[in-house]
Amino acid sequence: MAQRLLVCEYVSGGGWVEAARHARAQAGSAFAGTITAPTGSAIGVRASTGAAKGAPPGAGSTIAATAQSDDHDLLAQGLAMRDAIVADAAALPGIELACVQGPGVPRAAAGGSVELRPGESLLDLVRREALHFDRVWVVAPETDGCLLALAQAVDAGRWMGCRPAAIRLCSSKRATLAHLTARGIATPLAIDEDAARWVVKPDDGAGSVETQVHGTREAAAVDVAARMSQGRAATLEPWVEGEALSLSLFLRKDAGEGCAAELLSVNRQHITVGSSGTLAYRGVDILAIGPADTRHAALRDTAAAVARAVPGLRGFVGIDLVWHERCGPVVIEINPRLTCAYAGLSSALGRNLAGEMLALHDHEARAHARA
């Protein structure tokens, strides 16, 4: 019997419409136009020795242009992740695949589609359709509790990914840093006194959206206060100088019911800070640092430490960090879901990661049924 898999990437699945609506609300009268889906998948994901397959559009100088650029970037990234999952899943025998399809978004190259009904939210769609599938694989931002709500809407036996408790913790950057620091893992809090710059960002944000770097703590505090006065949760952290990296992990339960973390890839992130302090994500090089690099062992140890520190991390997980000259790996945040680095990773590793993730969840479901 075929196994039915539902893939829901938030932005391309209909969150694109909600994101556009949110952008208009944030921009107010400054936003005069409409947001349309880009025609290409212009995500800057590449193997470390390859050329970029495009670059996100540059941020505009007005609130409206910035919101529009952010949304275009997020949709391009979402399409790249969705299409990577679909390519892996379509190559597997016995998989009946369907994707959640948003309006005006290019369709996936394989499988069927599920679409929003008039007036229906993406959360309602996932809750409705999950009952008809054996496995549900969701890629969504932590913003406004989105990923957590989707995880709670799907039966635990069908959900592919991290447990709700882990998602809840990782959805708050402030809570995540406090949790990791208390367990001896280096975070920006470790360099508080040495910081020359400060960064302000949404406490539950995804990517580089609404992230601002300031030259003084005082200016950063003013930024936080302004956001909080508008009801927007924000966090202020020391800016960590060094090389921006990310770790792609595959997490499984080990024999002792703990978590075994396989470090799939150490990635180099391309992040720029504009003249006004606005942070922009420009892509990622997968497999940028290999075992021969003297830093690799410390990065592997950090991955294992994070896996031990946060129970409930499962499947594909991303860790954003900076290699600091004095402190080594400094963890910035945990992404309890698929990240942009997944695109191209199966091919680069010569593995079908979606197949391995499905096998992991099948194994855990059988073990749970026997218990």
Structure tokens at 1: 């019997």
How many CB atoms neighbour CB 118 within 10 A?
A: 4
Domain(s) of CATH 3.30.470.20: residues in the chain: 173-336
In angstroms, the Cα distances linking 77 to 22, 33, 200, 213 are: 18, 22, 23, 23
CB 348 within 8 A of CB 50: no
Beta-carbon contacts of 291 under 8 Å, excluding residues fewer than 6 positions away, are none
The pLDDT value given to residue 74 = 81
pLDDT in tens, 333-348: 999 999 999 999 999 9
For residue 2, CA distances in Å to 49, 133, 156, 366, 369 come to 38, 11, 20, 17, 20
- Alpha carbon 225 to chain centroid, angstroms: 26
Predicted local distance difference test score (pLDDT) of residue 205: 83
| Assigned architecture for domain 173-336 | 2-Layer Sandwich (3.30)
| Residue 25, pLDDT score | 54
Alpha helices in 102-259 (DSSP H): 122-129, 146-153, 164-170, 173-182, 217-229
Long-range CB contacts (within 8 A, 24+) of 192-195: 192/238, 194/238, 195/238, 195/239, 195/240
Q: pTM of the entire structure?
A: 0.87
CA-to-CA distance for 197 and 234, rounded, in angstroms?
A: 17
Predicted pLDDT of residue 177: 97
Query: Can you tell me which residue has the tokens 């019997």?
Result: 1
Tokens of 314: 């499962």
Angstrom CA distances, 21 to 17, 90, 212, 231, stand at 6, 33, 23, 18
pLDDT digit string (tens) for 81-135?
A: 999 999 999 999 999 999 999 998 999 999 999 999 998 999 999 999 999 999 9
Can you tell me the distance from the alpha carbon of 113 to that of 185, in angstroms, rounded to the nearest whole number? 42
Running along the chain, 371 residues long, what does each successive block of 10 average in pLDDT? 94 74 48 34 46 30 41 85 98 97 94 94 96 97 94 95 96 97 96 89 87 96 96 94 97 68 97 94 96 98 96 96 96 97 97 96 73 60
Q: Specify whether the CB–CB gap between 78 and 337 falls below 8 A.
A: no
Closest residue by Cα to residue 205 from 267, 138, 147: 147
Tokens 């409705």 appear where? 128
Burial of 240 (0-12, 13-18, 19+ CB in 10 A): buried
* pLDDT reported for residue 245: 98
